[in-house]
């Protein structure tokens, strides 16, 4: 092995140690070559590639983060660009990796082993979430610009986020609605439903509930150029649900103007981490979110839970890196729902 090869290997190895989630539990680390061999073995028996020393626990909890605005002054519902980047850095360094909401609710978790999935969401579709500057570039201080920038600097931090849009001027710049929504989807991120009128569902009748959801889904889908893209995730404005229980099913499914809708995920406003999608208690139609802020979070904000999971690693979802196998410590096996078609692997 010549010096250059050695140098390259050592750079690659240290890069892996710095960024790979395996390094959290296993400082000894592995070479990149070992990882590649492991990927080849996946085809034989997926379990062979699972490193139990990383303490995979796919019954653990997952954070679904709720953002609203990015702006120059930090406020209760506003994160500055610097603080948002700090959030991403903290998540990255602590081994969290973004996944899509769809992958979360369908249990298709592909983050590298030893890592913890996290879901990033933005509500209200304000211009500070996604702004085009007069020269045609994406503002680097808008959420989309910041996410792209962070992903380009950290390729192993996937570009995944869902933007929940209410009303008819997504991201606030006229005549750019279709361009923006299509761009978000082309980049691999998602557009979700936040109703026509930022509706408070607590006292709406059935036809109004279906209009608020169905009309908005149809409007957003028409603007997205990707064929077949379905807007089928809903963030409840104010976290509101119908007081009349018999109307609750319309949040999940209904129709408007003879076109049906069906949501695969309904997000609350909340204050706690969400269940693993493999947990028997997981409910895709009532998913709690955590405020991604440091102001007025009453000790249940994002940083409180990051600290909590640092202190209670056994509560945290740790991926085994193999989406078709659910790996959990034996004592947690009873938490896993019986209906899953994946192989349960305990240790």
The residues of the shown chain that bind Zn ion, judged by CB under 5 A, are 123-124, 237
CA–CA distance, 287 with 265 (Å, rounded to integer): 7
Q: How far is the CB of 227 from Zn ion (least distance, A)?
A: 29
Q: How far is the CB of 340 from Zn ion (least distance, A)?
A: 33
Which residue's CB is nearer to Zn ion, number 106 or number 200? 200
Q: Which residue has the tokens 């099913």?
A: 249
Q: What residues form DSSP beta bridges with 287?
A: 267
Start-to-end CA span in the chain (Å): 39
Which residue's CB is nearer to Zn ion, number 141 or number 268? 268
Which residue's CB is nearer to Zn ion, number 84 or number 275? 84
Q: What residues form DSSP beta bridges with 343?
A: 325
- DSSP per-residue string spanning 2-26: -HHHHHHHHHHHHHHHHH-THHHH-
Which residue's CB is nearer to Zn ion, number 122 or number 309? 122
Q: How far is the CB of 270 from Zn ion (least distance, A)?
A: 14
Give kind and range of the element (H or E) at residue 98: strand 96-98
Q: How far is the CB of 237 from Zn ion (least distance, A)?
A: 5
212: its two tokens:
């608020």
Distance from CA of residue 73 to its chain's centroid? 25
332: its two tokens:
């947690």
By Cβ distance, which residue is nearest to Zn ion?
123
Q: How far is the CB of 119 from Zn ion (least distance, A)?
A: 17
> How long is the chain?
347
Which residue's CB is nearer to Zn ion, number 60 or number 237? 237
207: its two tokens:
């036809």
Q: How far is the CB of 129 from Zn ion (least distance, A)?
A: 12
Which residue's CB is nearer to Zn ion, number 116 or number 166? 166
**CB of 268 within 8 A of CB of 201?**
no
């Amino acid at each position: 092995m010549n010096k250059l090869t050695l140098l390259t290997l050592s750079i690659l190895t240290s890069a892996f140690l710095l960024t790979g989630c395996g390094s959290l539990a296993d400082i000894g680390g592995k070479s990149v070559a070992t990882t590649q061999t492991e990927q080849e073995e996946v085809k034989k028996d997926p379990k062979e590639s699972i490193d139990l020393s990383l303490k995979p626990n796919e019954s653990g909890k997952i954070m679904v983060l709720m953002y609203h605005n990015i702006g120059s002054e930090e406020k209760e519902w506003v994160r500055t660009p610097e603080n948002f980047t700090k959030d991403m850095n903290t998540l990255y360094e602590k081994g969290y990796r973004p996944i899509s909401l769809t992958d979360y609710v369908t249990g298709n978790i592909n983050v590298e082993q030893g890592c913890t999935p996290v879901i990033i969401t933005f509500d209200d579709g304000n211009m500070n979430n996604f702004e085009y500057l007069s020269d045609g570039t994406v503002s680097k201080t808008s959420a989309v610009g910041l996410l792209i920038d962070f992903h380009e600097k950290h390729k192993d931090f996937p570009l995944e986020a869902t933007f929940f849009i209410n009303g008819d001027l997504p991201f606030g710049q006229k005549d750019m609605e279709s361009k923006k929504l299509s761009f978000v989807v082309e980049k691999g991120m998602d557009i979700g439903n936040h109703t026509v009128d930022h509706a408070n569902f607590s006292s709406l009748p059935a036809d109004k509930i279906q209009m608020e959801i169905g009309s908005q889904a149809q409007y957003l889908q028409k603007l997205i150029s990707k064929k077949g893209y379905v807007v089928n995730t809903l963030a409840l404005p104010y976290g509101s649900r119908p007081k009349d229980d018999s109307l609750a099913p319309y949040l999940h499914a209904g129709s408007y103007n003879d076109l049906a809708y069906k949501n695969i995920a309904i997000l609350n406003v909340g204050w706690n981490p969400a269940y693993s999608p493999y947990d028997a208690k997981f409910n895709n139609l009532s998913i709690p979110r955590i405020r991604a802020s440091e102001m007025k979070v009453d000790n249940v904000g994002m940083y409180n839970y990051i600290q909590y999971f640092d202190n209670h690693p056994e509560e945290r979802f740790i991926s085994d890196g193999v989406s078709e196998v659910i790996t959990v410590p034996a004592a947690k096996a009873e938490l896993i729902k019986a209906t899953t078609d994946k192989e349960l692997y305990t240790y």
